């Protein structure tokens, strides 16, 4: 038996409107992509080959599932037009199916297999097969071998009693997640989670000592929870999330790559990136106030005391690193690259020469461990062109320009805050914006000195 998964969503357009940066099949149910549940069903049904029909571009989906080796099945991909009919999709993939039975999956539906007995499986295909329809469209169907229909809508399939939940609205999505989190974790939680009674933790989770977890909670990989935060009950926190101090999250979902500010109370809501969504009405609010934040940034940028405490440590570091810099330069030349970055929130540009991060030789590794690669960046700090500590210097793209405007402060720095984060949960992509928002919300000259110390110690210890 083979499986064809069509990314068609039909009238279920809410995810594209409220969560435009997430492919519908990558919507998380209990921190697990919906498509991964489909693959779990295929494994239980002993299906060896799956083909995913993508009606939209989704590099994230392909990167996550790749060739299916992690699940012990073979995954292939094909593209289809958004308006392509089911009959056309089936006709184009007839060669893939061959003479074997076919399981067809379409739309956004959740199958509650984890709530059944361990031996539960999908109904047998049988001589006539079976089909489940939603608003007249086939969404789950089993087509017997050798009985490929000319029109699947007219084929006299039986409609078995399959526990499917349509995700027809953001309300359906929210309440399904709230239901899942209250079930025993063994039913749906991703492998690798540290599953205590009512508390499911992923890898690389950092909890402040004063953070309180109220069962049940589900926290994914690479999450940072600051001091005096309260998480739960009924809270699902996605991957690469940072929740700032004294914030409470309960009966809520915080989606991947989101930053939640300080002193907030999030209840019965969905946080998606920088949007606050009411799951009952579908109303979405942008939680960044550009007008207020820009004014605050200008005021802080002129703080002479802050500049004073940036330049003195920079001068001390320059003197300390001078000899190692000259010595290592004799062993191997310093390779650099030039970047065009946004200099400030007025979107003035500047050219910045930075160390080439692609070097893998032992001299390059030693430079990074000793922070010698920062030596030339300290000179623009002394000139007032860069900050010692602050934000990652953002290249002059339109997307970065929008982020620069939204930040409370934008301090392009030699030692950016993001270097205090584990590399495993930190890449060069736009998902790192949560760390830029975190720094800009917590900026102070004293905190800047703490950041420099943390980066230096991390480099000395981990390289």
Tens digit of pLDDT for each residue in 209-235?
999 999 999 999 989 999 999 999 999
pLDDT in tens, 405-446: 888 888 999 999 989 887 655 554 555 788 888 888 888 878
In a domain, 237, yes or no: yes
DSSP one-letter code for 264: -
Outline where 302-444 has alpha helix (H): 304-331, 362-369, 375-382, 398-406, 433-442
In a domain, 310, yes or no: yes
413/216 Cα distance (integer angstroms): 40
Give the global pTM: 0.74
In a domain, 306, yes or no: yes
pLDDT score of 376 more than 70:
yes
* Average pLDDT rounded to a whole number, residues 105-117: 74
In a domain, 176, yes or no: no
In this structure, the answer to whether residues 163 and 196 fall within a common structural domain is no
Here the tokens at position 382 are 């002394």
Q: Single out the residue in 287, 303, 332 at which a domain terminates.
A: 287
CB atoms within 10 A of CB 458: 15
425/254 Cα distance (integer angstroms): 17
In a domain, 179, yes or no: no
Here the tokens at position 125 are 């295909």
Q: Single out the residue in 287, 318, 350 at which a domain terminates.
A: 287
Report how many domains make up the chain: 3
In this structure, the answer to whether residues 274 and 300 fall within a common structural domain is no
pLDDT score of 450 more than 80:
yes
Peptide bond into 233 cis (omega under 30): yes
In this structure, the answer to whether residues 91 and 161 fall within a common structural domain is yes
Confidence of residue 122 (pLDDT cuts 50, 70, 90): low
> What CATH number is given to the structural domain containing 6?
3.90.550.10
In this structure, the answer to whether residues 351 and 259 fall within a common structural domain is no
In a domain, 175, yes or no: no
In this structure, the answer to whether residues 300 and 331 fall within a common structural domain is yes
Which residue range forms the structural domain that includes residue 139? 2-168
In this structure, the answer to whether residues 78 and 217 fall within a common structural domain is no
Here the tokens at position 351 are 């050219």
In a domain, 180, yes or no: no
pLDDT score of 66 more than 90:
yes
Q: What is the pLDDT of residue 254?
A: 95
In this structure, the answer to whether residues 397 and 256 fall within a common structural domain is no
Q: Single out the residue in 287, 309, 326 at which a domain terminates.
A: 287
pLDDT in tens, 246-279: 999 999 999 998 888 888 899 999 999 888 999 9
In a domain, 173, yes or no: no
| Neighbour-count burial for 385-398, b at 16+ CB within 10 Å, e otherwise | ebbbbbbbbbebee
Q: Residue 462 burial (CB < 10 Å; 0-12/13-18/19+)?
A: exposed
pLDDT in tens, 289-300: 433 333 333 334
140/159 Cα distance (integer angstroms): 10
Q: What is the pLDDT of residue 65?
A: 94
Q: What is the pLDDT of residue 295?
A: 33
301/317 Cα distance (integer angstroms): 23
* Average pLDDT rounded to a whole number, residues 178-190: 72
> How far lies 77's CA from each of 59, 92, 140, 171, in Å?
12, 13, 19, 30
């Amino acid at each position: 038996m083979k499986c064809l998964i069509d990314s068609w969503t039909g009238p279920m357009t809410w995810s594209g409107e409220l969560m435009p940066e997430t492919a519908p099949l990558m919507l998380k149910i209990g921190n697990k992509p919906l498509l991964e549940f489909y693959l779990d069903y295929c494994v239980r049904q002993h299906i060896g080959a799956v083909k995913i029909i993508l009606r939209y571009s989704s590099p994230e989906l392909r990167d996550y599932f790749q060739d299916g080796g992690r699940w012990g099945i073979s995954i292939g991909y094909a593209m289809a037009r958004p308006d392509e009919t089911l009959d056309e999709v089936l006709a184009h993939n007839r060669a893939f199916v061959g003479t074997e039975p076919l399981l067809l999956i379409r739309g956004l539906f959740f199958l509650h297999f984890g709530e059944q007995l361990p031996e539960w499986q999908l109904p047998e295909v049988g001589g006539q097969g079976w089909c489940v329809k939603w608003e007249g469209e086939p969404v789950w169907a089993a087509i017997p071998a050798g009985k490929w229909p000319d029109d699947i809508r007219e084929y006299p399939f039986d409609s078995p009693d399959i526990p499917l939940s349509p995700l027809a609205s953001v309300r359906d999505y929210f309440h399904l997640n709230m239901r899942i989190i209250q079930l025993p974790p063994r039913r749906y939680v991703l492998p690798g989670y540290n599953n205590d009674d009512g508390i499911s933790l992923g890898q690389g989770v950092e909890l402040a000592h004063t953070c309180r977890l109220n069962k049940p909670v589900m926290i994914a990989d690479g999450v940072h929870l600051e001091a005096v935060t309260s998480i739960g009950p009924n809270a699902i926190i996605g991957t690469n999330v940072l929740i700032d101090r004294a914030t409470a999250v309960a009966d809520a979902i915080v989606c991947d790559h989101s930053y939640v500010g300080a002193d907030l109370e999030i209840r019965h809501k969905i946080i998606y990136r920088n949007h606050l969504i009411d799951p009952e009405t579908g109303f979405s609010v942008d939680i960044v106030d550009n007008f207020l934040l820009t004014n605050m940034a200008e005021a802080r940028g002129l703080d002479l005391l802050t500049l004073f405490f940036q330049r003195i440590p920079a001068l001390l570091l320059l003197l300390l690193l001078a000899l190692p810099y000259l010595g290592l330069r004799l062993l191997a030349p310093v390779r650099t690259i030039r970047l065009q970055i946004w200099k400030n929130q007025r979107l003035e540009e500047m050219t910045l020469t930075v160390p080439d991060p692609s070097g893998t030789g032992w001299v390059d590794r030693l430079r990074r461990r000793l922070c010698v690669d920062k030596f030339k960046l300290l000179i623009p700090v002394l000139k007032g062109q860069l900050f010692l500590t602050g934000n990652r210097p953002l290249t002059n793209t339109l997307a970065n320009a929008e982020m620069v405007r939204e930040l409370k402060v934008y301090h392009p720095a030699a030692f950016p805050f993001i270097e205090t984060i584990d590399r495993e949960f930190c890449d060069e992509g736009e998902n790192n914006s949560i760390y830029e928002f975190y720094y800009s919300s917590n900026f102070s000259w004293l905190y800047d000195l703490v950041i420099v110390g943390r980066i230096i110690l991390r480099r000395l210890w981990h390289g």
